[in-house]
Each structure stands twice: as structure tokens, then as C-alpha cells.
Amino acid sequence: MVTMHMILSLARRLWVALACWGLLACAWPAHAGVMTKASMLATFPSPLIVGEKETELPVWPLFKQDATSTPLVGYVFESIDLAPIPGFSGTPFNLLVALDAKGEFMSVKVLSQHEPVFVEGLGEGPMLSFVAQYKGLSLNQNIKIGADKNSASNANVFIHGVGKATASVRILNQSLLSASLKVARAKLGYAKGRDPDLIARIRPDVFQPMDWDALIKAGLISQKIFSRREVEAAFAGTIGAGLDPLAAGAPDSAFVTLYAAHLEVPSVGRNLLSPKDWDYLKGRLEPGDSALLVIASGDYSMLGEDFVRGAVPNRLNVHQGSLPLEIRDMDIDTSLKLPAPLQSAEWKVFRVIGPSGLDPAQPLAFDLRVTRSKGVMYAERVGKDFTLVSELPDKYFEAAHADNKTWRSIWTDRAWELALLVAGLAVLAWALNHQRWLSADRRRLSRFRTGYLLFTLLFIGWYAQGQLSIVNLTALVQALAARRSLEFFLYDPMTVTLWLFVGVTFFFWGRGVFCGWLCPFGALQELTSQVAQRLRVPQIRFSARTDERLKRVKYAVLAAILLTALVSVPWTDRLVEVEPFKTSITLLFVRGWPYLAWALGLLLLSMFVYKGFCRYLCPLGAGMALFGRLRRFDWLVRRAECGKPCQRCQHDCEYQAIKKTGEIVYEECFQCLDCVAIEQSDELCVPLILEKRRAVIPIHPVAAPREAVPSESSESSESSEGVRA
């Protein structure tokens, strides 16, 4: 049991560690850009001209020399200056980004990165190919990763991801977009400082049945009538004045009436669309997208004769404050439930993609451009905007809050994998909680354990890439030391889920839940050992003293890696390669020969020394053992005779985690349950065998005595005895 003294001792150690950590964090240098003016000039040679780096925002203006002027082309910046999002090494990507004046990527280059999967893993080739896809794409497009097409002509653009590096490329994508949007908002007028990830969201659960008049009364549909008098007044004093022949006779009649609404609001969309069309609309919208319904009734078309379906309208513009929003026709073929006077009205549904920064909580302005011309051969034109302002009532949206779509989407995309993982973890928790039932039959325990190890290796490891690693700990150390957010962990839902489960089980079962059941490489080692034992490969078992000394090595390896993580990221990248997890699990042995030889060598070692890497070298196992000291229960069954004098479990424990005294060393125990099976076995548990022997009373058959034939002498003797009596 954990005593108060142990708890206080552990608390003191944690306090000292945190204090030292805090001092190191204060001294830890902040990440900053590395580009100088000279390196910028070399990267962007003539005819481009690199201006001076700005002081308020770390960007370099980029100009282009031509015959008459030097117009501004765009801006160049380093992502680490604006969005230092840590990768899985705890160190951010640093990207050199050139963004033109329209928000289009001129070029994206990787200056530095320390992602384990790209550092001597897959190599930088797949990452560089991934980054090359951004050239020519625009911040006005909704850039998605993972689809099988790549088209920059639509509002949505799809780029290919990198297999085995799903989370890493999403972090790269988020670093690029976050940094670029900061520049676009400050320099190009995008949202004027409003973060697209910090805006209000439409409430999908609010719905009320309403007809057209009720929708207008509730403020869900905005309308404005522009009279001929109003239009004429706007053109007064220009060449467009007096060109409407009906204005003089009926000045108060409607020139055009505009209606606008957020069609993605359930109380609007479900009341104006059929259930089938409503489902279709929702399927077309990405998270954060808006669907704006605009209706124009009157003599003036809001689209014009040259409008092309699926395109951006020329006559209609939408903006929110000083933020212009690109609207594009969704080209929906359906019918709306409109009142009779509007049955012949012109209407369209326009999409505004999420990255544009449209905030449903802010007023939205629809500008209808009315253009008039005078003359035939050399016509003069003049245009005026007529504005309808739409504002969504408060009850239909949630207030602004942090909603990072990038990591949330990957959790949604991997929902079934997470469901299967949670189910597997629930099965394991049940099994460990019913250890005696599971271990009562050794064949049942063996089959369950082998089956679960295969689940861990095949699904958690090779398929779902859920291998926990020392890299998780070094990333944590580096992020805390640099005072960065830990949000980057959320890009890998499998890792987060496993860590949460393992963290909870530290208090119940200790280190062995992960090391004995949930580590894919550990499962691969154990399955290899089982094959070796069936092939009668001789097993090496060290003496207790040697075993104890060897088990200390992993703590030294852990300390070296964590200390290096505070000093040198490149050296950390090298030292973490002591783990063969990346080679054997993440990359499925497709790697350079030194790493391949190391991983295969450790598997070969496990054929002779049972799980030798796990027991003696694994730095993550050392960390698990330290955290395992949080365990509050001695839950493995022991008998009074264990160790005094019985040594059966101590002799059979392949992890050598049982002392001669019978005490289980939980920090080195992998929770295989073999000792529990022995303790219940009538054939293996020595105290149980002796106890049953003492309880049995031996019964030996005895021959019945023969009947004696009376003799004359005996009769006379009995007669004389009777006389004497």
C-alpha cells in the first residue's frame, strides 16, 4: 500500500523537479525567425525587390521592378514568428511563406523541422512534395487534406496528405494557415483582426416552424425596398441621372426589393427547403461555411445577363465591416417555399467558406451594384451600390469561443477508429478487474493475452499508429520549457486517448497496463518470444543481481534524453532513435539499413532474452515505471507462503519482477497475470498442492481375521475358567 510518507516524498520530488523546470523555462530561448536581409535577397532575386523587415509585424514587403514603377507584390514571412505551433518533437515547423497581395501563395519552403517521422523516417521528400502543393492556392479557398483530387478552381481545394504522417502534415498545414491569415488580416484586409477560429457558430439545435411572414418578423429574413426615387437620387449629378423612364411617373414604386438570410440556420433552411433539399445543403457545406440566400424582386437583375452558374456574381458583393467576403453560387437546383408574389423572383444560394472569417454574430452587408451607361460608340458608365444590412438574432448562434477546426476535424474523421480503441480499452479494463476469473484457466488466459497482443500490434500499432513514444515526453518537456501550448497533442487522437487511459490506470495497476498490454512494439517482442520458445530457442536468464543492474540502464537513458531535450533539439532527434518504434511500427520496417538493423537486432535479442529492450533499455518504459509509483493498490494476489519458502512464482516470472521474499516489484511488473494463474493452479502452486495433500486422509485396505475352530483343550480351559469365576 502507498503510505503517507511515500506520497510526501513523491510530492517533494515533483516540487523540486517543477522548480528546476521553471528556472530552465525562464532561461529557454524563444523561437524566432532565422532569415536575414541577405538571405532574403538570395531567395528572391531580381526582378523582385525585398524591402526592410517591418517592426510591428515580422514581415518583409516584396516588390517587383518594372519599367515604370515598383508595385507591391506581396509579403514574405517565417511561420515560426507568427504561429509557432509545436510539432511532435515539441519544436515548431519554420516555413518561409511568400503571400501575394490577393492572398495567394507564391511559394512555401521548409526552413526547419524536427518531426520524428520526417527526420530519418520517411525522409523529407514526402514532406517537400506536400508543401509544393500550396503554390498557387489562395487563402480564399477552403484547403482540405486527404481527398483524392487537387483543384484550385473551386471554393474547396483538396491536397494530398502523407501516409504515416497524418498528424504531422496537419500541424504543418495549421502553422502555414495560421501565420498566413495573421498577415492577411493585418495587411490584406482579411477580417481586420478577427480570427476565423474565434467567431460565433450557428446553433444546429434551434428550430421553430415558421412561414415566410413569421421568418421576416423574427428577423431571420432581412428585406429592403429600393424605390425609384431613391435610385434616382443616388445618380443625381452623374451621367446616369434621369435614365429610368418610370421614375418620373411612379417615383415611389419599387425599383428592386432585396431579401437575404442565412440558409444554414435550421429555422430558415428547414422552413424554406424540403427535408431532402435540407439534407443536401448540409452535405454540401463544410464546418464553418455559410450559405447565404439572396432574393431579388423587381425590374433589375442582381445577376446580370452574363452571369455563369457556379461563379462569383459581378453585381452583388458582401462584406462585414471592412472585410470583403467572396460569395460563390452553390448552383443548387431546387425549389423554395416562397409566397406567391415571389414565385417568379430571382434567387441564388451563395457559399462563404469558413476561412473567410464570416461571423454570424456581426451584421452582414449585401451591396447591389446598379450600373448605368450613356452613349453608344464610346459609352460612359457610372455605378452605385445599394446596401441591405442583415443581422442574425442572438438566439440562433453561439457566442464566439475557441474552436480549432483543424484538430477537431481529425477526431471526427477517425471516429470509428477511436470507438474501436475505446471498446478495446474497456475490454482490457474489464479483464484486469476480473483477473482471477481470467487466470483460473491457463488456456483461457493464454488465448486472451495472445489475441489482445495481436489487436495491439495490428490495430493500435500498424493500422491506427497509436504507438506511444518517448518523443511524447520530449515534446512535453520542450513545449513547457518554451511556454508553448500543448494543443499540438490533439492532432493525434489515438495518442491522446491512450495517454488518458494509461494515466488513469497508473493509480490502479501501475506501469504494466501499457508496457504489458498496449505497447505495439512490446506486443511484437512478446509474440516473437513465443515463437522462439516454441522453436526451443535457448533462453538466457540473468542472475537477480545482474538483472537489477541492467534494469537501471533504462533510467539513465531516459534522463539523458530529457536533459538533452532542454539543451539541443538536434541531439534529441538522434537520441530518441534508441526507440525502434518509428522503424518497426510507424514505418513498418521501410527505412534505412542502420535503423532497420537496430530494430531487427532488438527483436532477435528478445528471442533469447525475454523482452530485453522493454526491461533494460526502453526510456518510455522507465518513464512509465516512475509514473507507476502513483499506484495505490497491491492488486496481484499473494499467499503467506510466497517467498517463505515457496519460490515457484519468482522462478517462473519471465520479467524477474518478483523478489525471493515473494514481494512483487510493481515498477517492473508487466501485468501478464501468470503469477495469478499459478496461484490458482492445483498443479503449479506449491502451497496449494501441499494444502490439498494435508486435507486428504489416506485409507488402506485391511484383511478380515479368520474364524477360529474350537478345540477340546480350549473348551476345557473355558470350563475351568468358568469354575474359577
Quick: pLDDT tens for 475-506: 888 778 777 777 778 878 898 999 999 999 99
- Find out whether 98 and 86 touch, Cβ atoms under 8 Å: no
At 124, list the grid cell: 523529407
Dmax over CA atoms of the chain, in Å, equals: 173
Beta pairing, strands 59-64 & 48-50: antiparallel
Please compute the mean of the pLDDT values over residues 618-623 and round it to a whole number.
93
pLDDT > 50? residue 584: yes
Indicate the residue type of 21. Answer: W
User: Which residues pair with residue 108 across a beta bridge?
Assistant: 97
If you average pLDDT over every residue of the chain, what do you get? 82
pLDDT value for 714: 46
pLDDT value for 591: 76
Beta pairing, strands 290-298 & 346-352: antiparallel
pLDDT > 80? residue 514: yes
pLDDT value for 689: 84
Instruction: Identify which of 20-24, 68-72, 242-246, 721-725 has the greatest average pLDDT.
Output: 242-246
Which has more confidence, 142 or 177?
Answer: 177
Indicate the residue type of 278. Answer: W
HEC secondary structure over 631-652: CCCCCCCCCCCECCCECHHHHH
pLDDT > 50? residue 692: yes
pLDDT value for 537: 93
CA dihedral 100→132→53→56, nearest 10 degrees, is 80
b/e code 153-176 from CB counts within 10 Å (16+ = b): eebbbbbbbbebbbbbbbbbbbbb
pLDDT value for 149: 41
pLDDT (tens digit per residue) in 65-118: 775 667 888 999 998 888 777 776 667 888 999 998 888 899 999 988 877 777
pLDDT value for 715: 46
pLDDT > 50? residue 4: no
Indicate the DSSP class of residue 202.
E
Instruction: Find all residues with CB under 8 Å of 683, minimum gap 6, and list them.
Output: 689
Instruction: Find all residues with CB under 8 Å of 330, minimum gap 6, and list them.
Output: 284, 291, 310, 349, 350, 351
Please compute the mean of the pLDDT values over residues 391-416 and round it to a whole number.
74
- Find out whether 199 and 357 touch, Cβ atoms under 8 Å: yes
Cα–Cα distances in angstroms (integers) from residue 496 to residues 422, 465, 467, 491, 523, in the given order = 12, 12, 11, 9, 20
Indicate the residue type of 642. Answer: C
pLDDT value for 641: 84
Query: Alpha helices of 488-568 — where are they, by DSSP H?
Result: 493-505, 512-513, 520-534, 544-551, 553-565
C-alpha–C-alpha distance, residues 74 and 323, integer Å:
18
Looking at the chain, the whole-number percentage of residues with pLDDT higher than 90 is: 34
What backbone phi and psi angles, to 5 degrees, belong to 521?
A: -70, -35
Please compute the mean of the pLDDT values over residues 224-239 and round it to a whole number.
89
Please compute the mean of the pLDDT values over residues 325-333 and round it to a whole number.
84
User: Which residues pair with residue 386 across a beta bridge?
Assistant: 368
At 467, list the grid cell: 504507438
Cis peptide before 393 (omega within 30 of 0): no
At 22, list the grid cell: 521553471
C-beta atoms surrounding 665 within 10 Å = 15
Confidence of residue 150 (pLDDT cuts 50, 70, 90): very low
pLDDT value for 522: 93
Please compute the mean of the pLDDT values over residues 521-536 and round it to a whole number.
93
The answer to which of 24-38, 162-176, 462-476 has the lowest mean pLDDT is: 24-38
- Please provide the DSSP assignment of 44-79 as one string: S-TTEEE-PPPSSS-EEEEEE--SS---EEEEEEEH
Instruction: Identify which of 142-156, 368-382, 419-433 has the greatest average pLDDT.
Output: 419-433
pLDDT (tens digit per residue) in 154-212: 455 778 878 766 677 878 887 888 788 888 877 876 655 455 556 788 898 899 999 99
b/e code 52-88 from CB counts within 10 Å (16+ = b): ebeeeebbbbbbeeeeeeeeebbbbbbbbbbbbbbbb
Which has more confidence, 245 or 357?
Answer: 245
Beta pairing, strands 156-159 & 254-262: unpaired
pLDDT > 50? residue 632: yes
Beta pairing, strands 156-159 & 142-145: parallel
pLDDT > 90? residue 531: yes
CA nearest to 75, candidates 91, 94, 53, 95: 53
Residue with cell 417615383: 251
pLDDT value for 718: 44
Please compute the mean of the pLDDT values over residues 302-307 and round it to a whole number.
85
C-alpha–C-alpha distance, residues 109 and 31, integer Å:
18
pLDDT value for 274: 92
pLDDT value for 82: 84
- Find out whether 663 and 536 touch, Cβ atoms under 8 Å: no
pLDDT value for 147: 52
Helix axes 470-481, 553-565, angle to 10 degrees: 40
Instruction: Identify which of 79-88, 555-564, 637-646 has the greatest average pLDDT.
Output: 555-564
pLDDT value for 295: 94
pLDDT (tens digit per residue) in 255-294: 999 999 999 999 999 999 999 999 999 888 877 789 999 9
pLDDT value for 215: 94
Beta pairing, strands 323-325 & 316-320: antiparallel
